[in-house]
Structure 1
Amino acid sequence: MPRDDAARLFAGAAEAYAEYRPGYPDELFDLTARRLAFTADTRIADLGCGPGTATIPLARRVGGVVAVDPNTEMLEVAQAAAARAGIGTIEFHQGHAEDLPKLEPGPVEHAVFGRSFHWTDRDAVVAMLDALLPPHGAIVLLGSARTVAYPWDAAVRAVRERFLGTERRAGSGTYSHPAVSHADLLVAGPFGAVEPYSFDEDVEYDLEYVLGLQRSYSHSAEHLFGERYGEFQDALREAVLAACGPGPYPVVKQDTLIIARRPRA
């Protein structure tokens, strides 16, 4: 993906991302802290930090976080969230994950990606981190699993495709999920000792949350619709109501964690 496109992926979506994208459970961060032996001296990088979804919980468990994102709006929202939380141990940098060494971050032990690894040149990033991280350093991937479709998925997809076409939009182009999974790519590389974990939680979402969630995605960001965004939102509301009723909608929220280390570690 072109670098300018990466910066535009979530243009105008930072506030919606912070408000509507589900966070990760505390037990995920607690497990990460235990497995990687976080201390007050641990310093990590959060690459593609977005509005600070993972940055702030991580900062509460380590001595310092280098938070990097190409989108200035995301960084502004993340900085505001850190200030509200009273956390002063986060260094914010505008840039791409691939550019971490150029940002002169100082020593970092581990690199975390919260729903962002797929937006990078994964092979280049792994090679860069292999050169940058210490022998015990790890790549940590936080993500979401969708083994069961949400009740509104088909209705939302149909409306989105009516307005934007069947190809999944991203920036000024389109996006397809990588043919090789994150786990398989890591297993085949220098960080081949991979530990996968999953976390399930029963939650309820209401109609406004489901509609707001669509504003947080790169493939349905407001800038993609031009002057038709209001029309899209109205059609979306009508379709979700017809498919699922007024809510609330009980679902199983599924989060994933991958900790990848060098085998000798």
Structure 2
Amino acid sequence: MTSFSDSTFNASLYSDFRPSYPPKLYSILTDYHKGPKNLLVDQGCGPGTASIPFTKLFAHVIGSDPSAGMIDVATKNAAAKEIKNIEFKVSAAEDLSYINPGTADMIVASQAAHWFQHDKWFKECAKTLRPGGTLSFFGYLDHQYMGAPQANKIIEEFSYGKDYLGPYWEPGRQVLRNLFRDIEVPKDIFEDIERIEYIPGKYPNDKHLIGKKMTLAANEQYVRTWSSFHNYNKQHKEVSRVQGGGGDIVDRLFDRLKKTMGWTENKVLEIQWSHIIVLARRI
């Protein structure tokens, strides 16, 4: 079980401060897709970040996640927007038994595939997709402050340094950091496999998909949605200043950013994330 499935994980914070996916991403997926758009399944759907926008593109959408807390937030998010053509289920990605075999037109996993048991998952997806149906898994990682290389060095050290959050990531994080290259799509059941990736500073800027302008204060809340911070905090039991304590590891990170960069909590930052999209078609 990942930390996101932990009953103590703050699913509402995750929903409020994680980046959303831009229209261009959905265009990439639908341009690749062939045939009907009756049923889409979003596995590891979290608070419905990708599931809800897909309701404008498919007749019916099912979002699944092993975390009951995430499903509760996703259900509330959809209800707040009065969306009728979506349902959510508490379920592991490797279990699609609630869908008739061969009836799904597209299965996606947004910011989740690095946690799956891939052999079981691919077989379950192949069983559930119709011939020619689309499978796509995509994710983002390692945000960068645009035009602020010194701040990026600080966040890199904080994220992966042995004295900071480095030891507290689960194994799936490295799969994502390697841009899903470790996940081999089986070519006996899928074809037309494509990869689309972006790393800030290494690709032309017009290729980026996932970015956001946020204040330094909002960026701090985003960092608090990391699974590594959740795991760290379970062991160290530090209390943040906003909760009336003496400060925690995230407070110390942002103290350092403020001192080094001269930033205040209201400083608006342009942020980009590296991303990877994998597309495949059911044979």
The TM tier, using the shorter chain, reads 0.7 to 0.9
Paired residues of 1:155 and 1:243 also in contact (CA < 8 A):
no
**1:18-70 alpha-carbon deviations (Å, 9 max, x no partner):** 1111111112112322321475x510110000001000011111011111001
2-structure distance, mates of 1:124, 1:71 = 19
Q: CA deviation at 1:90?
A: 1.1
Specify the alignment match of 2:18 in structure 1: 21
The one-letter amino acid of 2:174's match is: H
1-structure distance, mates of 2:95, 2:109 = 14
Specify the alignment match of 1:220 in structure 2: 229
Query: What secondary structure, in the 3-state scheme, does the structure 1 residue paired with 2:238 have?
Result: helix
1-structure distance, mates of 2:31, 2:172 = 35
Specify the alignment match of 2:180 in structure 1: 182
The one-letter amino acid of 2:259's match is: A
Structure 2 unpaired stretches of 5+: 198-206, 241-246
Specify the alignment match of 2:113 in structure 1: 117
2-structure distance, mates of 1:255, 1:162 = 24
Structure 1 unpaired stretches of 5+: none
Identity within the alignment, %: 20
The one-letter amino acid of 2:13's match is: A
The one-letter amino acid of 2:140's match is: S
Which structure shows the higher helix fraction? Answer: 1
**1:160-217 alpha-carbon deviations (Å, 9 max, x no partner):** 65776641334xxx65513975356126552242123354156433211210111111
Alignment of 1:140-151 (within 5 A): 140-144=136-140, 151=148
Question: In structure 2, which of residues 208, 231, 235 is the aligned counterpart of residue 200 of structure 1?
Answer: 208
TM-score (norm: length of structure 2): 0.77
CA RMSD of aligned residues (A): 3.0
Alignment of 1:121-136 (within 5 A): 121-136=117-132
TM-score (norm: length of structure 1): 0.81
**1:82-115 alpha-carbon deviations (Å, 9 max, x no partner):** 01111111121101101122xx134322210001
Specify the alignment match of 2:253 in structure 1: 236
